[in-house]
Amino acid sequence: MSSLSDSNLKGWFERHGLPWSDVLSKSLSDLGLSCVEELKFLQSERFNHLFAGGNFIVREKAKLARKQLGQEAFSFAKCANDIPLEKEALPVPPVPTKKQISSRAVRKNKLAHDLRKKFISVTVIKTAEEKRKE
């Protein structure tokens, strides 16, 4: 049986001895798959087609992995474990103060000034705060 840690597609493929590649990742992404549970929606033929270019052993491992996966019922909980719950919500980053914002603008202008010294053409777009100061 797959566990909650099987929501990671790459890890699941590797644990089952199936090759993982950027092409496979893109194919699964194009199909809209984001977790292992969603592989259960793929028909066996379509799943096996992902490994049609592989050797005999890889194709057989793919058939066995798909058959094993298909024996379990779909579980929404196994797909939802990557979504943070309200009680585990990520902290909100602090809002930068005006002093922090203005110092960033100064650093950008200083960088532009340094680049101008080296004869590189740079266009500096002033922030609304800088325009108000003038």
Closest CA to 42 of 78, 18, 74: 74
Q: Which domain holds residue 113?
A: 98-133
In a domain, 93, yes or no: no
In a domain, 125, yes or no: yes
pTM value is 0.51
Please report, in angstroms and rounded to a whole number, the separation of the first and last CA atoms in the chain.
Answer: 67
Residues 84 and 113 in one domain: no
Residues 110 and 78 in one domain: no
Residues 82 and 105 in one domain: no
Closest CA to 3 of 60, 89, 69: 69
Q: What is the pLDDT along the chain (134 residues), one digit of tens a residue?
A: 333 334 588 888 888 889 988 888 888 888 888 888 888 888 889 888 888 888 999 999 999 988 988 888 877 777 765 444 444 556 677 776 666 555 555 555 666 666 666 655 556 778 888 888 87
When divided into structural domains, the chain yields a total of 2
